């Protein structure tokens, strides 16, 4: 029997961003690592907006640009679009900080990027085991995790440390008692999007981009989500546009909204339709995002195991940060696994160093600071309705007040707000918003 026993120094569950990062760091540290992925290949099951941030990639692969990552475009213009019922106010920034080379963020298609990312882990020595799902853990009688059980015949893999990077699921976290309940709809956004193909020159002309070395990442607020908590996005790929939105699952259920209808309504909006007109639908899909924030996080470690990335609810929804948290958390979990190996101690006492490491950087600091934000938009729907429409109306008045006494203009602009929300309430909203993002 013993000859059939499959043994590694470490097992990583999931070859997404967190998992491949963890495998890469441990393999470089000399460990024999199994990277288990349920998809046909890394990225096959992944879906996102979106942009990937180079600070995280560079921490693991400093010469990443020489290794030709499959980026679409650098983000050279970024910001918010406020969608009113019949208009759009754009607040984007370009130039300055966004001219960095390499850029701070690159628009990416995950099927391509994840394959490249996992390749870096394989080149470091990790063994990728695709088409294999981890379904349970091997545990000592004392409860210490000592490997995983996969869906393959005789699919047990023994290892003294396991890093769980299963994405938005919490099935494995539940099995270890790191969290004691199923995912809750109020903490999950359902993000749905289309990838629409258009000639590169058409994209450049429609979005005001000089060439394929310039790209736009916009977060869209307001009418995109029918005035309910949610956020849309537009990203320009080389020869396509990624466009979609995320809304909280409980709200979709409560208002009996169908994602397809909401996305179609967004695409038909008079300010959006001309941008996608004549495009060909390449891809349509949805994916959950764990947006519950700090309060929704599981316990991050136990004897012989740690958890990283979406599986640990490491997402900052306002900033679309999830990929970088996943990569850095995977790296920190891996460093902790290396420490455990060097000490020969895989108990929770050593695994707890993972949480210490997370606390030293931006991940836990930001998640703590934004802990109130996940419910903020739900309790302040005016940010999705009143203010985008006010902005559009008041700026519209400003830029059409030619030949009018300007006192009338400013009274009109003020009225565009006070007809919707009293000044006292508006001031209160600003204070609440500041409190929720500053963590006061």
Residue ranges binding ligand FAD (CB under 6 A): 13-19, 36-39, 45-51, 133-134, 165-167, 169, 191, 193, 244, 287, 289, 309-311, 315, 320-324, 326
Query: Between residues 14 and 160, which has the closer beta carbon with respect to ligand FAD?
Result: 14
Judging by beta carbons within 10 Å of its beta carbon (0-12, 13-18, 19+), is residue 241 exposed, middle or buried?
A: buried
**Residue the block writes with tokens 């939105």:** 245
Before 319, cis peptide (omega within 30)? no
Residue nearest to ligand FAD (CB): 16
Query: Between residues 105 and 228, which has the closer beta carbon with respect to ligand FAD?
Result: 105
Tokens of 45: 């099951």
Q: Are the CB atoms for 313 and 187 separated by under 8 Å?
A: yes
Q: Are the CB atoms for 259 and 190 separated by under 8 Å?
A: yes
Query: Between residues 361 and 415, which has the closer beta carbon with respect to ligand FAD?
Result: 361
Query: Between residues 323 and 397, which has the closer beta carbon with respect to ligand FAD?
Result: 323
Please give the Cα distance from 431 to 160 (Å, whole number). 49
Please tell me the number of Cα atoms within 13 Å of 111 on its side-chain side. Answer: 5
Query: Between residues 9 and 114, which has the closer beta carbon with respect to ligand FAD?
Result: 114
Which residues in 15-42 are b (16+ Cβ under 10 Å) and which e? bbbbbbbbbbbbbbbebebbbbbbbeeb
Q: Find the shortest distance in angstroms from Cβ 217 to ligand FAD.
A: 7
Q: Find the shortest distance in angstroms from Cβ 415 to ligand FAD.
A: 37
Query: Between residues 76 and 392, which has the closer beta carbon with respect to ligand FAD?
Result: 76
Q: Find the shortest distance in angstroms from Cβ 38 to ligand FAD.
A: 4
Parallel, antiparallel, or unpaired for β 33-36 and 51-53? unpaired
Q: Find the shortest distance in angstroms from Cβ 71 to ligand FAD.
A: 13
Q: Find the shortest distance in angstroms from Cβ 389 to ligand FAD.
A: 26
Q: Find the shortest distance in angstroms from Cβ 310 to ligand FAD.
A: 4
């Amino acid at each position: 029997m013993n000859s059939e026993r499959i043994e590694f120094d470490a097992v990583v569950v999931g070859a997404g961003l967190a998992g491949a990062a963890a495998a890469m760091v441990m393999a470089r540290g000399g460990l024999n690592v199994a990277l288990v992925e349920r998809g046909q290949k890394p990225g096959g099951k992944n879906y996102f907006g979106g942009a990937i941030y180079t600070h995280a990639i560079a921490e693991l692969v400093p010469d990443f640009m020489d290794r030709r990552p499959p980026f679409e475009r650098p983000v050279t213009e970024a910001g918010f679009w406020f969608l009113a019922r019949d208009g759009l106010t754009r607040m984007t920034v370009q130039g300055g900080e966004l001219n960095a080379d390499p850029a701070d963020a690159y628009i990416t298609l995950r099927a391509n990027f994840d394959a490249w990312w996992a390749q870096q882990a394989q080149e470091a020595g990790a063994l990728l085991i695709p088409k294999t799902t981890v379904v349970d853990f091997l545990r000592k009688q004392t409860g210490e995790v000592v490997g995983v059980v996969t869906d393959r015949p005789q699919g047990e893999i023994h290892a003294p440390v396991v890093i769980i990077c299963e994405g938005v699921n919490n099935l494995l976290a539940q099995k270890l008692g790191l969290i004691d309940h199923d995912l809750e709809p109020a903490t999950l956004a359902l993000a749905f999007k289309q990838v629409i193909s258009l000639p590169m020159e058409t994209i450049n002309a429609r979005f005001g981009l000089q060439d394929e070395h310039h790209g736009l990442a916009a977060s869209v607020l307001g009418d995109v989500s029918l005035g309910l908590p949610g956020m849309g996005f537009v990203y320009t790929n080389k020869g396509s546009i990624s466009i979609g939105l995320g809304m909280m699952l409980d709200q979709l259920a409560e208002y009996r909204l169908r994602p397809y209808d909401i996305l179609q309504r967004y695409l038909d909006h008079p300010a959006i339709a001309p941008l996608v007109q004549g495009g060909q639908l390449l891809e349509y899909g949805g994916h959950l995002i764990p947006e519950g924030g700090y309060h929704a996080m599981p316990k991050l470690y136990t004897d012989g195991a740690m958890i990283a990335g979406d599986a640990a609810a490491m997402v900052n929804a306002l900033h679309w940060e999830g990929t970088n948290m996943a990569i850095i958390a995977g790296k920190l979990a891996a460093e902790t696994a290396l420490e455990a190996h060097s000490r020969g101690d895989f108990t929770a006492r050593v695994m707890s160093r993972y949480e210490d490491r997370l606390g030293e950087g931006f991940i836990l600091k930001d998640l703590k600071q934004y802990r109130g934000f996940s419910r903020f938009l739900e309790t302040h729907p005016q940010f999705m309705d009143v203010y985008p429409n006010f902005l559009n109306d008041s700026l519209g008045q400003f830029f059409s007040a030619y030949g009018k006494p300007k006192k009338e203009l400013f009274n009109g602009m003020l009225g565009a707000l006070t007809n919707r929300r009293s000044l006292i309430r508006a001031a209160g909203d600003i204070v609440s918003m500041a409190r929720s993002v500053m963590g006061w």
